[in-house]
Each structure stands twice: as structure tokens, then as C-alpha cells.
Amino acid sequence: MGAMKWSKNQLPKTEDKHLSLMSKSETDKARAFHRSFPQYDSTPLHDLKNAAAEMGIAGLYVKDESYRFGLNAFKVLGGSYAIGKFVAQKLGKDISEIDYRFLTSDEFKANFPPCTFFTATDGNHGRGIAWAAKQLGQKAVVLMPKGSTETRLNHIKALGAEATIEPLNYDDCVRKAAELSAKTPSSAVVQDTAWEGYEEIPGWIMQGYATMVDEAMEQLNAIGIDRPTHVFLQAGVGSMASAVTGYLVNRFPENPPVIAVLECSAAECYYRSAIEGSGEAEVVGGDLASIMAGLCCGEVNPTAWDILKNHAAAFVSCEDTVSADGMRRLAAPVKGDPSVISGESGAVGMGVVDLLLRRGEYPELKEHLGIDENSKILLISTEGDTDPELYRSIVWQGAHSSK
């Protein structure tokens, strides 16, 4: 069997009721909120000119989230914004009326009793929630699935959160976090997946992710590029992929970029749902073991699923070797291109593009996506070396190499 499986998106379309979540009026508020943090700065967009030339395309760009707020991953964008929106709602305000200065003021602390935010995570989301809660004087409780590394656990604990590795997979950790919150006064679940009766906060998290793609578009425009022609987006529950897709469809309603959704094969719920074809979401159970820990989610976010089945062109399931090869490719680039430290869940897009274009495999997928010499491809490296030991074993010592 090859390193990838893929499916065209032939799913039945819906009324697209969730697309407005990512409208410009909403995503502008998220960007303004993040700008109010003293730690805020745009993360780099790397122009891999020489890799693009080698691959026979017009451009290849990598948004590098390893610089985000010093946390080595993008997830804090969603978690911090959701906490801000939660507080604003409790105070009867719009998010545009509050910012970092207000949320850390003595006046706020005197009038808003501390809240406990519960979440489940492989590491990056929980670290973002712990950081945001600490910055804003709140509490965080973080549940991690079995197989999570001590390194990622300790990163979360170092930010003052209560954190444990549970004998459960990710989806069961989500359920346990919700159960614990239900028993805890002055608490909320801040989770980047939705279920019936829990859609509002996941929607806020998705809006928070828009800051990342809004920056990327600003950076592309600065080098004379109106829009990417193609965007490769990795998906766990699908919140990031659908947020970026929703932003781009709202910004370019007449000619949005072609979107490919990528998953780890151990948790290929989007790919299986596409293959099944009815529009209903398939569930992947079991331990969900992969080096791509951030993508090890066996149940889709229904909001994300609705956006992606309306707007994605293809769903791709990837073995661990695809991401490992992408990590090495980014770390040791074509001469003249910048080196990018991209973690296991961040590099799968580069692995896929390399397979399609440099190695010339899966020509039918390349044709379906319409990639040619004029293509300008955007990738998002969603994390850096969040587990340095695992990163080194892959990039330095060749673990999980393709044959």
C-alpha cells in the first residue's frame, strides 16, 4: 500500500450555514483582539523559491507557527480568543469592547470571579489554554490522551495548569473534560470540536485561527501575490482546516483557492467520511496512534465538517512517513531556501507536496487538484519541535523514513 490514500470530494452540498462564522467582520475582531496582547507579532511566511522551481510550480509558501506567542504552535490563537469571547459574553459586552489590557486590569479582576477552563488536548491546544488562562488570571484543567509525551505534559504544567495523561483516547478525554466541567461551578469547556448543544465556543476558536491566515494573506500581498491557488490543510477534528477554508471562501467568493484536507491514517475520519459519501460523518475509534499527535482525532467537528464538505476539493489520508519526510525536507531545504523547524503535525503538507511534485507520485491527485506551472501553494506549519526528542529522532536519526 502507498503512503497516501485520497478521495475526491463528491459529498452532497448543504446550505452552508456555518460559512458566516468566518466572515470578514468576525475575523477582523479576532485579529484586533490578538493584536492587543503585548506578546503578539505576525509569525513568518517563508518563501521557498528554490523548492518551487524544483517542483515546477510558481510558488511555495510556508506559514511558520513555531513562533506564535513563544508557544511553538498556533493553537493559542483559538483558545485565547474563545476565552476572551466567553468573558465578553458573561459581561454583556462585544469582544471589540475588551482587550488584553482590560482583561488583566484590577477592575476586571475585582468584578469577574476566576473561572476554570477545562479542555482535552494532545499538547498544543492545552498549552495554549493554559497560557491564556495564566495571562488573564484564570484557571485551566487539561486532560491528555494516552500516548501523550511527558515533555508536552510538563510544558502545560509549567504554565500553572492542572494537567494529567488519562488512560483514554482523545475523543474520550473530550467527553471526560465535559463531565468534569458540568460538576464544577464557574467553569467552561474550551474545546476545538463541537457536538450537539456545544457549538458556540468551538466556533469562537475557529474565528481565533483566522488571525493566522489573515497574516499570511497580508504577507503574500506584500510580495505581490493576490491569493494562493492551492492550500493544503491538515485536519484533526478539522477546526483549523475549516477556519482557513471559511476565511478564504469569504475573501475570494468568486475564485477561492483549491483546498486539500490532510489527515493521519490512524485517525482518517474525514477521508472515511468522504469515501462513505452520504454526507454523514464516520468515526474512527481505538488508540489512534501516530507521530502526528495533533491530528489523532477520530471524530469530526460537525461545524468544520459542514464547511469542508462544501468547499474542499479532496481528502487525503497520510502515513507517518509522509509527515516525517516533510519534516526533513523543511529542515534541510533546497540551497538558498530558509530552513523551517516543523513538527510532526505541522509538516504533513510539505510531505504531500513533495510526493506529488518532486517525486511525481499520485498523478491523478495532482490532476484533480489542477496543479501546474502557474500554481502558488500555501502550507501552514502549525507547530515547531513541540517534542524535541521525537523531532530529533525523525530529522537527525531518520526515524519513520519512507522506503
Q: Which three cell numbers stand for residue 115?
A: 473561572
**Per DSSP, which regions of 139-269 are E strands?**
139-144, 162-165, 187-189, 230-234, 258-264
| Chain centre distance of CA 44 | 16
Q: Would you list the DSSP string of 276-308?
A: H-SSPPP---S----S-GGG---S--HHHHHHH
Single out the catalytic residue among 5, 63, 75, 85. 75
Task: Verify whether residue 64 is a known catalytic residue.
Answer: no
Task: Verify whether residue 75 is a known catalytic residue.
Answer: yes
Contact residues for 102 (Cβ-Cβ < 8 A; gap 6+): 108
Single out the catalytic residue among 47, 64, 122, 354. 122
**Per DSSP, which regions of 235-361 are E strands?**
258-264, 314-318
Burial of 358 (0-12, 13-18, 19+ CB in 10 A): middle
Q: For the chain, what is the largest distance between any 2 Cα atoms, rounded to a whole number of angstroms?
A: 61
C-alpha–C-alpha distance, residues 291 and 395, integer Å: 13
**Catalytic positions:** 75, 122
